[in-house]
Structure 1
């Protein structure tokens, strides 16, 4: 008891009062500094709730100082602190009640990641939090002074200056602490405790839903890529790896409180690069984390400077097109020059080179409309692929342009596909065809995981009758022999041909129309999926009645070893505008009666019906080790499903 009384006697009322005065004075000074610095930074002078409550706090703080410090006569001699009279004490209590209301009203839980209701409601506000810190400091200081109810003396100085300085220091600590807290964006990272020794095989056929995984609330799926042991889900805030056999999470790396996150899967699905721009980094640098997709462990972390200089972004637009662990592909467009694509180093943003259409004296070459990623230009692993059209100069004049020739099917042009080293820009290989009628588009068809096939690049014309070209990505050699049954000539497909479903170095799947009315009551031609060997021989056929799916769902068809599947969205005739995901399964060599549909239990999302009472949406299917994964892109609640045989 004696020790407690000694401690109490050391903490004198005037000391606590001076600490409170330091907090109030520091809060007012902080607000004054904020009034100058934040307009220079083009920040609004509002508290996190969007109001001007800090002005009321400054006014009330000035009243507190007046109530506590004002004396009827200047006291030159040192002496003990005097108690506040009843009038001042009551006035001080009223001011404190008002300050508590102001501090409570000015606060917004959205300013901090740990108080936001969910990540979508988190909005960091450095300026607002600083002004709220000033409000909080004034409120705390007033409470301390009311708790002592004393009017402190300035003299002796050793008894007044240190505690007041301590109050000012507390304001600085609050400013730095809360300022850092509003900018803190936590990372959610888990690594794989255990993972399979070998990846499970991709199902050759599917018959049921083996597992389901619900995406975190208010997060949408941007894409799914095959990983070492199952799907790699690229979310709008990071990446998650699942076991394809069970749907269990192997590892995850997410930034749920970042407003901008980009994920790139590269190196054959063995690397994931997560790029973000933290609000705490005012330089605008991009923070990149490279992840091993087997374990989820971090391989390296680095920052890259922004591509645009300060002030340049008002006239220049830069769009990210694609990337790998080595390079990034960007599209540049401004008011003074046409759109241009540039290749930059992924770890420094240094410009390495840019693809161009070659110039020649003998012929003119053009990429109509400029470079368009996914159409006439694409980045795949360590190569940049482009395509363009050429015509000899003697075929062109003032009245005939190369565009005119593309509109005349009687005037064949030279179609070109070229591959370049993604880092150096050196040409790896080039292929040309002199019988091209229209501009080409290129895409890379990746093999089903677990097979010995390798990726091929497919060049296709504008029309169904245009002959598709499939090239080995390694050297540009031909990888596709087409069956004569689906060709009208060596340079044109038959009228029954529809599209390529899958192209591989070992086998290919093509879609065509079959003869009408084969006894199933449907007078329209059925769809036939032909599996073709490397030599161009049809080895198996899967038949689907015409009315099974809508035409715009056919491009989403996926070829497996024993069947073809088509993801679709079925419109429910319930008046609620609900669409339900489903998958159509078409087995090989089993006839149209074997076609079956796997419907999922619950509605995926509400949407407007399409032309024929259904909406196709973005229902996708991806074969991965252990399952065929289906998902609906860009919906608020997304369930990822693993289909098994």
Structure 2
């Protein structure tokens, strides 16, 4: 037993000595690593990256001082005939090296590049930086090297060769491995994607009326709610960094896709696809890829339907109204609008087709309105008014100032056309045309909204309704009921809802006449089934489009926080107006009150933040009517969804 103990002690000291030489190898190789991280990854110059935590430099100071202590210690060692014999070192002599080791370990945490490591960084402040990661790696290596090098101080005397050629190369290899991890760490972008294996049963119907707040939902931290779209089973909350789908009946989360550190800055690349409640899209980068990835998701389950690169040809401003938003993806094709031209680009970045419209049409002298593009499911409807070629020969100026000349030429001799294009191929599905007259104006396309069960979707132009899928004329709008705007369209707030089975139409009176506002319900033949009389005094026309349910109109009544004194409470309610054959009075209204901390007045009191914006859109979804209450301006707005249920 007495012989075994010295053998065990000798083995332990040989091991600590080997680890000490490994620490020395780490420290020596770290000197080279510092040069590579500082100059090799400097980009525009050594250390120019603003994401670098300057505290990493303290680790280099520790490296230098500890290196001097270690070299002096090794130079003072002689060859000992019994290298297993322990050194006699005082605690006082070891105190300073231990202090340096502790300091090095502390600076691993102090020098963390918190803005460049996704698990630690706030998505708002995240800055990808390979150099910041590499220089933090210096702090990690210095701490590791100093800890291991204590073995030289505590291990056997002398410099046995066997320990050197095992430990030092191993330490250098560790530095090489750390260098190899710098790029993967700097490109690390975690993506959260949860989904269901199958659809969660039959979706609840869209409510025809509401009576109470059923549930509320709080957005995750460090992100913003952009808007709320209607999915197949409830709302799809469009976040700044992704999508979260909720069950409309309960508010439970169905699925999530969030790329908190690599999301597209373009809000129009996220959300439920136009006219398709069953599909949603999200765009993000994988790692440090230059290319964007574009996913199409099933809104019922969150499963990936399509995963393809986002075409680099899509311009940054392709989401404005005049250019249309990203409209549809089908079989790896992208349809987008830019400068009044529709483009389809494949995943190989090859253009499939393009279709100019309005002023961009070079073959005919055409003009289109602000809402000339209407996407629905797998097709895109374009509306334009074009002059016949003979009338256009004298007009060659394509500038926007020729709008009046274009309209005059088309009114003299021209055609109004509505064309439905297949989103994937550009082929015409159907076309409707009629000759112009002297008061004709470019067509303005109004969507009729989601059709009721068993009905077909429609869109409206002036006082006419058309079947979206076939272009067929429908009779749901009674003759002479809708007064047209001087520019030829019905105006905002006239068509509340329409499908092939009937329409809900608001008849606005002249502002000077004092006549009440009427809402008419029609059938498929255009017969008025019932009329609800609403006094203008309490329901302004511009608020009637809050949300339209089958049996009620809804709008919000909210007091802006900036108009309240500190501690004062304002109004926060959803007003429900029943639709029936009667004259509605104030007593017939139902108010559903909701409370929100977002509407608490500022501490400074009235007028301190007069520009504080309040947005309160109401979105009918399966199972609920969702109020997306937003206070503040983008960026930095706060949004809280409330679900109103029957």
Is the structural similarity TM-score above 0.5?
A: yes
- 1:520 maps to what in 2? none
1:331 touches 1:339 (CA, 8 Å); kept in 2?
A: yes
For 1:527, the equivalent position in structure 2 comes to 517
In the superposition, the TM-score normalised over structure 1's length comes to 0.79
Q: Which residue of 1 aligns with 2:322?
A: none
Question: Residues 54-133 of structure 1: matches in 2 within 5 Å?
Answer: 54-70=56-72, 80=83, 89=94, 92-93=97-98, 95-96=100-101, 99-100=104-105, 102-116=107-121, 119-120=123-124, 122-133=126-137
Note if 1:543 corresponds to 2:533. Answer: yes
The answer to whether the 8 A contact 1:362-1:393 is kept is no
Q: CA deviation at 1:566?
A: 2.5
- Could you say which residue in structure 1 is the equivalent of 2:549? 560
Q: Which moved more, 1:193-202 or 1:393-402?
A: 393-402
**2:26 corresponds to:** 23
Q: Structure 1 residues 398, 172: CA separation in 2 closer, same or farther (over 3 Å shift)? A: closer
Q: Does 1:221 align with 2:220?
A: no
1:474 shift after superposition:
1.6
User: 1:390 and 2:389 equivalent?
Assistant: no
Counterpart in the other structure of 1:381: 377
Does the 8 Å CA contact 2:359/2:366 hold for their aligned counterparts? no
Q: CA deviation at 1:481?
A: 4.0
Q: Is the 8 A contact 1:367 1:376 kept in 2?
A: no
3-state secondary structure, aligned to 1:598:
strand
Cα contact 1:528–1:544 (8 A) shared by 2: yes
- For 2:618, the equivalent position in structure 1 comes to 621
Mapping 1:285-434, distance limit 5 Å: 285-300=291-306, 302-304=307-309, 307=312, 317=316, 319=318, 321-326=325-330, 327-331=333-337, 340-345=341-346, 347-357=347-357, 364-367=364-367, 375-395=371-391, 397=394, 401=402, 403-404=404-405, 406=407, 414-433=415-434, 434=436
The one-character-per-residue Cα deviations of 1:422-473 (angstroms, maximum 9, x if unpaired) are 111112222234136333333433324x5222222333xxxxxxx3443222
CA contact (8 A) 2:38 2:135 kept: no
Distance in 1 (CA, whole Å) between partners of 2:166 and 2:340 is 64
Change (3 A) 1:607 1:274: farther
Q: What does the per-residue CA deviation read over 1:215-266, in whole Å, with 9 as the maximum and x for residues that have no partner? A: 2234333333333322222222222222222222233333334343743424
Structure 1 pair 376/409, CA: closer, same or farther in 2 (3 Å)?
closer
Counterpart in 1 of 2:288? 281
* Aligned counterpart for 1:203 among listed residues 183, 207, 216: 207
Give distance in 2, aligned partners of 1:78 and 1:20: 22
Aligned length: 608
> Per-residue deviation at 1:358?
8.7
Among 577, 585, 598, the residue aligned to 2:576: 585
Task: State the 1:92 CA deviation.
Answer: 3.8
Structure 1 distance, partners of 2:47, 2:493, is 58
How many Å separate the matches in 2 of 1:533 and 1:349? 47
Alignment match, 2:277: 269
Give the equivalent residue in structure 1 for 2:457: 455
1:138-217 paired onto structure 2 within 5 Å: 138-146=142-150, 148-149=152-153, 156-177=160-181, 180-181=184-185, 183-192=187-196, 197-217=201-221
**Whole-Å Cα distance in 1 between the matches of residues 62 and 382 of structure 2?**
68
Deviations 1:489-511, CA, capped at 9 Å, x for gaps: 99998999962111211111111
2:598 corresponds to: 604
1:47-67: CA deviation from partner (whole Å, max 9, x where unpaired): 85x443334433442333233
Partner of 2:66: helix, strand, or coil? helix
Structure 2 equivalent of residue 510 of structure 1:
505
- Bigger shift: residues 106-115 or 193-202: 193-202
Q: d(CA) in 2 for partners of 1:367 and 1:42?
A: 53
Question: Which of 536-545 and 121-130 deviates more?
Answer: 121-130
Structure 2 vs 1, CA of residues 479 and 152 (structure 1 numbering), >3 Å: closer, same or farther? farther
Gapped regions of structure 2 (runs ≥ 5): 320-324
In the alignment, structure 1 segments of 5+ residues that lack a partner are 333-337, 460-466, 518-522
Contact 2:367 2:384 in 1 (8 A): yes
Tell me, yes or no, if the aligned pair for 2:329 and 2:424 is still in contact at 8 Å: no
Are the structure 2 counterparts of residues 442 and 150 from structure 1 closer, same or farther at C-alpha, using a change threshold of 3 Å? Answer: same
- For residues 58 and 200 of structure 2, what CA distance do their matches in structure 1 show? 62
8 A contact 1:417–1:431 mirrored in 2? yes
Segment of structure 1 superposing worse, 479-488 or 136-145: 479-488
* 3-state secondary structure, aligned to 1:5: helix
Alpha-carbon separation, structure 2, partners of 1:217 and 1:458: 42
Does residue 631 (structure 1) correspond to residue 628 (structure 2)? The answer is: yes
Residue pair 1:27, 1:135 contacting (<8 A) in 2 also: no
Would the alpha carbon gap of residues 587 and 122 (structure 1) be closer, same or farther in structure 2, given more than 3 Å must change?
A: same
Larger mean CA deviation between 592-601 and 493-502 belongs to 493-502
Shift in alpha-carbon separation, 1:487–1:231, aligned structure 2, 3 A = closer
Contact 1:19 1:165 in 2 (8 A): yes
Distance 2:185 2:534 in 1: 59
Residue of structure 2 equivalent to 1:476:
471
- CA displacement at 1:134 relative to structure 2: 1.0
Q: What's the secondary structure of 1:163's corresponding residue?
A: helix
CA spacing shift, 1:598–1:58, aligned 2, 3 Å: same
2:565 to 545, 565, 575: 575
Distance in 1 separating the partners of 2:542 and 2:341:
32
Q: Report the Cα distance in structure 2 between the residues aligned to 1:71 and 1:615, rounded to whole angstroms.
A: 67
Shift of 1:530: 1.5
Indicate conservation of the 8 Å contact 2:365/2:406, yes or no.
Answer: no
